């Protein structure tokens, strides 16, 4: 540490100290901000145009002399950009804190007192050259060391300031001895100044190239690709819950091992920084494990299945925005689902690409609407403890103006939910949903349970009638620790057949154990045990004289482990076991083996 005796001659050269204080004007704004902009494609106009201002570096005056005299190498630094290692030197220290801006009075620096031995020099710099900047908390932090590159950047700032004074015809404000001192320093740091200017030029060139070649200033592409290998084992279900033969089924293992895919490309746009417009393109060829030709039941379906022969389609379009700090709204033009909107499912297995492997295991069936057309969802937060959520979904013919279709005259589901959060660890949701289905679209449990649970009243299209339902659900999850979550749900649905007094009762429920970060950050272990939707009571009597009731209880058992290979690749092997498929213990137990690989980009 140098003595104060060395400081006295430096008082005559205030620009020397000013250079150390003004480092951020060049290094932080020109390098850190522009480099940060090259790292990602901006989402909103604000992000695309506003510079990211990062780093100021006030330093102790005695360190200046050491940096000037000693021919030391700059300290190693870090960078978030794709620039080379050489170009990234001396930027990380500058990115430590935000800059407050030029100080107009030394009294604005809270940690500089009139009794300080450097006070006179700082005051001179402020009044004569305006070469002082401070930190956001209005401190100076004069004891921080600097590198030669930082000193050169600050020197360059003061040189520019002196040139401004000369160009403005106020050269008399610049002392001769200051000019001589700056000239000597400029010669001493010529190499560093040239390097800094070269880096700035390079960053500006890369930024210009990015602006010309970038996809959009408001839109970014988010993609997901799923590759899956899957098969079912065990004879197909051939009997319904009351023992009736399922047409077209045989007691054989009717499935072969498949290798299939689902690809989604989301174009996410933002216009205010607080809104989101999403347009999703999708292609897939994952044939569902269901129906008489395969397993005889929907209970073996995967949570990410669907087959359009890999034809590209627009599967989802929505716009989400905030009406106030507490109220958010999402409007969907197509592909609306409550669980993809602003309604919480209270399940760690919700994601089709990274959550549960089965359709039933992802979350309570109450959040599924067989309509999945146009509509909206919303959330109003009264407090951290209480929130109200809900929405309305019309069927896929919501764009069809013919009778029995359209936004309000076809199939629909309206849902309301109260979410309670008594503590950080515990969440509880109370949910109600009202649904209506024309006679040819009845599927009140969205293919998550038995055939009777989907349509309790008729199997023949010729005698199907419109059906409505009231569904009630309670969901909860409790985070016992950061790496252990326990939860589940219970649901009850009352179904009504139009034109008569027939009613049916449908129950479902599940419990789950989740193990986030099991073995590694980003991993997820899970065990799900539940009862898929089953009909427990029914007034409807079929032509064979039997009520459409599931006499036995189906049990769903699922175990999975998501292993995150990298931040962008996850592999999830798992097994699903269905006991008493279709609510009949005469049906063979069915097993589903799955290996799902998810690529996110």
| Structural domains counted in the chain | 2
Q: Round to whole Å and give the CA distance between 98 and 80.
A: 17
Are 123 and 225 members of one domain?
Answer: no
Are 21 and 139 members of one domain?
Answer: yes
Q: What share of the chain is helix, strand, coil (3-state, %, to 5)?
A: 25, 35, 45
Last residue of a domain, one of 150, 180, 213: 213
The torsion angles phi and psi of 179, rounded to 5 degrees, stand at: -60, -45
Using one digit for the tens of pLDDT, what is the confidence trace for 524-538?
Answer: 999 999 999 999 999
Residue located via tokens 């919501």: 398
Q: Is 326 left (phi over 0), alpha (psi -120 to 50) or beta?
A: alpha
Using one digit for the tens of pLDDT, what is the confidence trace for 552-579?
Answer: 999 999 999 999 999 999 999 999 999 9
CA-wise closest residue to 566 among 520, 516, 514, 519: 520
pTM score: 0.68
Are 274 and 165 members of one domain?
Answer: no
Last residue of a domain, one of 213, 242, 259: 213
Give the residues across from 419 on adjacent strands.
387, 429
Are 174 and 265 members of one domain?
Answer: no
Question: Going along 271-385, which residue ranges are E strands?
Answer: 276-286, 306-307, 313-322, 327-334, 372-381
DSSP 148-164: HHHHHHHHHHHHHHHHH
pLDDT for position 104? 66
Are 167 and 23 members of one domain?
Answer: yes
Are 225 and 204 members of one domain?
Answer: no
Are 509 and 430 members of one domain?
Answer: yes
pLDDT for position 298? 97
The torsion angles phi and psi of 456, rounded to 5 degrees, stand at: -70, -10
**CATH number of the domain bearing residue 358:** 2.40.160.10
Are 242 and 378 members of one domain?
Answer: yes
Structural tokens at position 37: 């902009």
Are 200 and 242 members of one domain?
Answer: no
Q: Which domain holds residue 165?
A: 4-213
Task: Give exposure, 422-459, as e/b (b: 16+ Cβ within 10 Å).
Answer: eeeeebbbebebebbbbbebbbbbbbbbbbbbbbbbbb
Are 31 and 112 members of one domain?
Answer: yes
pLDDT for position 396? 81
Last residue of a domain, one of 176, 195, 213: 213
CA-wise closest residue to 522 among 481, 561, 575: 561
pLDDT for position 172? 65
Are 240 and 100 members of one domain?
Answer: no
Q: H or E stretch including 275? A: none
Torsion of CA 107, 110, 115, 116, to 10 degrees: -110
pLDDT for position 22? 41
Regions in the chain scoring below 50 on pLDDT = 1-100
Are 227 and 169 members of one domain?
Answer: no
Give the residues across from 232 on adjacent strands.
592
Give the residues across from 572 on adjacent strands.
596
């Amino acid at each position: 540490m140098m003595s104060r005796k060395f400081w006295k001659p430096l008082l005559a050269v205030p620009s020397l100290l000013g250079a150390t204080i003004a480092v951020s004007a060049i290094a932080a704004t020109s390098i850190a901000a522009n480099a940060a902009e090259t790292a990602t494609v901006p989402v909103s106009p604000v992000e695309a145009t506003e510079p990211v201002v990062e780093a100021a570096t006030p330093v102790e005056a005695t360190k200046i002399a050491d940096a000037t005299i000693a021919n030391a190498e700059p300290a190693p630094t870090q960078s978030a950009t794709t620039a080379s290692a050489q170009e990234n030197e001396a930027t990380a220290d500058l990115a430590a804190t935000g800059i407050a801006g030029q100080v107009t009075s030394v009294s604005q620096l809270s940690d500089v007192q009139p009794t300080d031995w450097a006070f006179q020099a700082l005051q001179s710099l402020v009044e004569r050259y305006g070469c002082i900047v401070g930190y956001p908390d209005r401190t100076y932090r004069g004891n921080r060391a600097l590198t030669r590159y930082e000193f050169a950047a600050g020197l360059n700032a003061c040189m520019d300031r002196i040139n401004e004074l000369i160009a403005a015809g106020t050269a008399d404000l610049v002392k001769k001895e200051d000019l001589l001192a700056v000239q000597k320093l400029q010669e001493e740091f010529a190499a560093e100044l040239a390097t800094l200017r070269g880096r700035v030029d390079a960053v500006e060139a890369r930024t210009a190239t990015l602006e010309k070649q970038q996809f959009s200033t408001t839109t970014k592409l988010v993609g997901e690709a799923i590759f899956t290998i899957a098969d079912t084992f065990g004879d197909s279900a051939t009997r319904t819950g009351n023992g009736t033969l399922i047409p077209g089924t045989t007691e054989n293992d009717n499935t072969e091992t498949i290798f299939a895919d689902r690809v989604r490309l989301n174009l996410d746009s933002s216009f205010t920084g607080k809104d989101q417009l999403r347009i999703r393109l999708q292609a897939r060829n994952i044939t569902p494990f269901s129906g008489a030709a395969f397993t005889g039941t929907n209970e073996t379906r995967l949570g990410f299945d669907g087959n359009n022969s890999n034809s590209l389609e627009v599967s989802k379009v929505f716009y989400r925005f905030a009406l106030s700090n507490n109220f958010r709204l999402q409007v969907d033009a197509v592909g609306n689902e409550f669980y993809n909107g602003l309604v919480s499912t209270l399940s760690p297995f919700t994601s089709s690409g990274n959550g549960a492997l089965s359709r039933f295991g992802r979350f309570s069936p109450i959040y599924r609407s067989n309509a999945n057309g146009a509509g909206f969802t919303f959330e109003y937060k009264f407090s951290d403890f209480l929130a109200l959520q809900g929405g309305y979904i019309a069927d896929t013919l919501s764009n069809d103006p013919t009778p029995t279709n359209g936004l309000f005259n076809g199939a629909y589901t309206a849902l309301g939910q109260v979410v309670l959060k008594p503590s950080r660890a515990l969440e509880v949701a109370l949910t109600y949903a009202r649904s209506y289905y024309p006679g040819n679209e009845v599927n009140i449990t969205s293919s998550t349970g038995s055939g009777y649970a989907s349509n309790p009243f008729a199997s023949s299209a010729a005698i199907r009638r419109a059906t409505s339902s009231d569904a009630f659900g309670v969901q909860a999850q409790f985070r016992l620790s950061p790496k252990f979550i326990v939860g589940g749900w219970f649901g009850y649905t009352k179904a009504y057949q139009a034109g008569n007094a027939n009613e049916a009762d449908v129950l479902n429920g599940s419990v789950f154990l989740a193990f986030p970060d099991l073995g590694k950050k980003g991993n997820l272990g899970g065990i799900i045990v539940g009862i898929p939707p089953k009909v427990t009571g029914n007034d409807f009597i079929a032509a064979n004289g039997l009520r459409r009731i599931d006499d036995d209880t189906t049990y769903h058992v699922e175990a999975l482990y998501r292993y995150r290979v990298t931040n962008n690749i996850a592999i999830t092997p798992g097994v699903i076991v269905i006991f008493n498929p279709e609510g009949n213990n005469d049906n063979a137990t069915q097993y589903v083996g799955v290996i799902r690989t998810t690529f996110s980009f």
